[in-house]
C-alpha cells in the first residue's frame, strides 16, 4: 500500500484519480476545500483507504496543519498536485487579483506543498504536477486564458527544475499537460465544448503514471492530448 497525496480531489479529474488509486488498494490523502464532496468520495467502494482532508491550498496554516495532523513521520510515495482554478477573462480586463489567484492555486500552492512534504518523501517517490496543453510550448493558445496558461507553463518548468534538485533524494518530478477533459473547469474555459475524454479515463491514466512512470521518466513535460499541437 502506497501513501499518496492528491489535491483537488473533491471533483473532476482529482476525484476520479483518487478513487482509482484507492481501488488499487492505496492510502489516499484527498485534499480540497469542499468537505461534503470529499465525504462523497470517501463513501465510494474501494479496497484501499481514503482520508479526506479539508485544506484551502492558498492558506499556509492549512497546509501546515495537514502535515502535522496527517503526515507527521509517514513516508509519502506519491504527491499529485492536481488542484487548479481557471479564470477566463480577456488579458486587458484582467486585474491583479485574477493573476494572484491563478498563480496562488496553480503554482504557489504546489510549491508550498512540495516544500512541506519534502522531508517525508520515500527514496523512490514521484511528484506529478498536473499542467495543461494551454501551458505547453507551441500548443494552440486561446483568448482569455493568458493567466491560466502562464501559471501552468510556470508549473511545467518548476517540474523540470525540481527533478534536477531532488534527483539525489530519489524523488522524480514530472508534469502532465492535459488536453480537454469533460469537467466543470472545461465548461468555464470552453462553454458547450464536448471533450473526447472523461475524468474516469484520464484518472486511470494519471493513477497508473503516478505509480510507475518514475522508474523510467524524470523531469519531463508530457503532452497528454489527442490532437496536435493541442
Ligand atoms: N478539465 C480539463 O479539460 C483540463 C485540461 C487541462 C488541465 N486541467 C487541469 O487538471 C486539474 C483538475 O482540473 P478539473 O478539470 O478536474 O477541474 P475542477 O473539476 O474544476 O476541479 C478543480 C479541483 O481543484 C480544487 N481546488 C481549487 N481551488 C482550491 C484551493 N484553493 N484549495 C484546495 N483545492 C482547490 C477544487 O476543490 P474545491 O473547490 O472543493 O476546493 C477541485 O477539487 C487542474 O489543475 C486543471 O488545470 C484540466
pLDDT by 10-residue block (mean), the chain, 230 residues? 98 98 98 98 98 97 96 95 97 98 98 96 98 96 96 98 97 97 93 94 98 98 86
Q: Where are the alpha helices (DSSP H) in the chain?
A: 12-23, 35-43, 60-66, 96-103, 109-117, 146-165, 184-189, 199-212
Q: How far is the CA of 168 from the centre of ligand 1 (A)?
A: 31
Quote the Cα angle for 183-163-12, to 5°.
10
Quote the CATH superfamily of domain 3-224. Answer: NAD(P)-binding Rossmann-like Domain (3.40.50.720)
Edge-first strand listing for the sheet containing 76-81: 49-54, 27-32, 3-7, 76-81, 121-132, 171-178, 221-224
In this structure, the strands spanning 221-224 and 171-178 are: parallel
Residue 17 C-alpha cell reads as 484519480
SS3 for 196? coil
pLDDT value of position 72: 85
Q: How far is the CA of 160 from the centre of ligand 1 (A)?
A: 22
The rounded radius of gyration (Å) of the Cα atoms in the chain is 16
pLDDT value of position 170: 97
Site residues for ligand 1, CB cut-off 6 Å: 7-14, 32-34, 37, 55-58, 82-85, 105, 130, 132, 178, 180-181, 183-186, 195
Q: How far is the CA of 13 from the centre of ligand 1 (A)?
A: 7
SS3 for 69? helix
pLDDT value of position 227: 81
Cβ(8)–Cβ(31) below 8 Å = yes
The pTM score is: 0.98
Q: How far is CA 62 from CA 17, 52, 124, 128, in A?
A: 23, 14, 27, 21
Question: Which of the listed residues 6, 9, 12 should we mutate to test ligand 1's pocket, taking the one with most ligand atoms within 8 A of CB?
Answer: 12
pLDDT value of position 229: 66
SS3 for 51? strand
Question: Which of the listed residues 5, 7, 8 should we mutate to test ligand 1's pocket, taking the one with most ligand atoms within 8 A of CB?
Answer: 8
Ligand 1 atom with the smallest distance to the CA of 9 is 43
Cβ(193)–Cβ(181) below 8 Å = no
Cβ(131)–Cβ(157) below 8 Å = no
Buried b (16+ CB within 10 A) or exposed e, 172-198: bbbbbbbbbbbbebbeebeeeeebebe
Amino acid at each position: 500500500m502506497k501513501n499518496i497525496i492528491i489535491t483537488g480531489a473533491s471533483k473532476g479529474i482529482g476525484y476520479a484519480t483518487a478513487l482509482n488509486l484507492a481501488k488499487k488498494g492505496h492510502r489516499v490523502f484527498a485534499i480540497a476545500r469542499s468537505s461534503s464532496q470529499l465525504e462523497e468520495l470517501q463513501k465510494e467502494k474501494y479496497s484501499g483507504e481514503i482520508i479526506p482532508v479539508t485544506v484551502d491550498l492558498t492558506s499556509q496554516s492549512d497546509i501546515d496543519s495537514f502535515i502535522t495532523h496527517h503526515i507527521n513521520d509517514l513516508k509519502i510515495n506519491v504527491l499529485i498536485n492536481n488542484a487548479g482554478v481557471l479564470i477566463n477573462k480577456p488579458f486587458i480586463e484582467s486585474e491583479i487579483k485574477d493573476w494572484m489567484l491563478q498563480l496562488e492555486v496553480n503554482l504557489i500552492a504546489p510549491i508550498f506543498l512540495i516544500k512541506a512534504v519534502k522531508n517525508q518523501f520515500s527514496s523512490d517517490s514521484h511528484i506529478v504536477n498536473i499542467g495543461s496543453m494551454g501551458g505547453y510550448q507551441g500548443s494552440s493558445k486561446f483568448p482569455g486564458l493568458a493567466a491560466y496558461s502562464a501559471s501552468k507553463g510556470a508549473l511545467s518548468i518548476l517540474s523540470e527544475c525540481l527533478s534536477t534538485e531532488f534527483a539525489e533524494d530519489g524523488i522524480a518530478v514530472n508534469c502532465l499537460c492535459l488536453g480537454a477533459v469533460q469537467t466543470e473547469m472545461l465548461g468555464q474555459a470552453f462553454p458547450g465544448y464536448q471533450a473526447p475524454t472523461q475524468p474516469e479515463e484520464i484518472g486511470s491514466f494519471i493513477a497508473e503514471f503516478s505509480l510507475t512512470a518514475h522508474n523510467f521518466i524524470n523531469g519531463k513535460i508530457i503532452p497528454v492530448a489527442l490532437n496536435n499541437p493541442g
